[in-house]
Copies of this chain bind each other. A is one copy, B any other.
């Protein structure tokens, strides 16, 4: 299988070069320019000292973590219509930001967060596949950094790093971290979201061309775990440099 040559010369189990540039923006509590190959996103963590209306009467008081995802019209191959001017977010956007929010709520103790809402804004500046995974890995790191800056060690609601990676099957071969051209041709497309301690947070596998077997599902999960370990190492590198 090592003889497969991918579009960009990578091995089937190789991540694209990945980088987290901290504090790219001047205003948010924590912000990152996340690069993953040609995919580039700005991820920012902002905190508001109140909770959404529907949480007001909850029995257990606590906070909320939510995400908004967007893409510059100029970020893709063909210009996409600006959602603000169209007057609504696309179904794809809605689905992605719900996934990010759900995953990130696993990374923190909402009760300990107190009556706060954390916004994780993920904006794609340049798209080349894997934008939702880059968003999740970046948002988890931004959340970790922001919490470290906002809370004392004792009060910190942050629990554990979370990261996401895409895997897929192309011409019958499982591959790690698909770029856009690969994603476009994949028979199966899967996103795996995990905690640093190796537990699954979310698994979403979709047959795009043909249904797949349990055996293939397991191969894809193995490949994802292999890639996620490297992403956790990168996140940890950034996080440990924060005073």
Chain A residues in contact with chain B, CB under 8 A? Answer: 24-28, 31, 38, 42, 44, 46, 48, 68, 70, 72-79, 82-89, 91-95, 97-98, 102, 106, 119, 121, 123, 125-128, 194-195, 197-207, 210-214, 217, 221
Task: Tell me if B214 and A207 are in contact (CB < 8 A).
Answer: no
- Given A102-B206, A200-B207: A25 touches B121 (CB 8 Å cut-off): no
Task: Tell me if A74 and B46 are in contact (CB < 8 A).
Answer: yes
CA distance A85 to B70 in the complex (A): 10
- 23 A-B residue pairs with Cβ-Cβ distance under 8 Å, sorted by A, are A25-B72, A25-B126, A27-B78, A27-B126, A28-B79, A42-B72, A44-B73, A68-B85, A70-B82, A73-B121, A83-B84, A84-B86, A84-B93, A87-B87, A87-B88, A91-B97, A95-B98, A197-B211, A199-B212, A200-B207, A200-B211, A200-B217, A203-B203
Task: Tell me if B31 and A46 are in contact (CB < 8 A).
Answer: no
Please list the 9 inter-chain residue pairs (A to B) with the smallest Cβ-Cβ separation, ordered nearest first. Answer: A199-B211, A44-B74, A83-B84, A46-B79, A203-B205, A84-B84, A28-B74, A94-B94, A91-B94
CA distance A77 to B27 in the complex (A): 5
- Given A87-B88, A106-B211: A79 touches B48 (CB 8 Å cut-off): yes
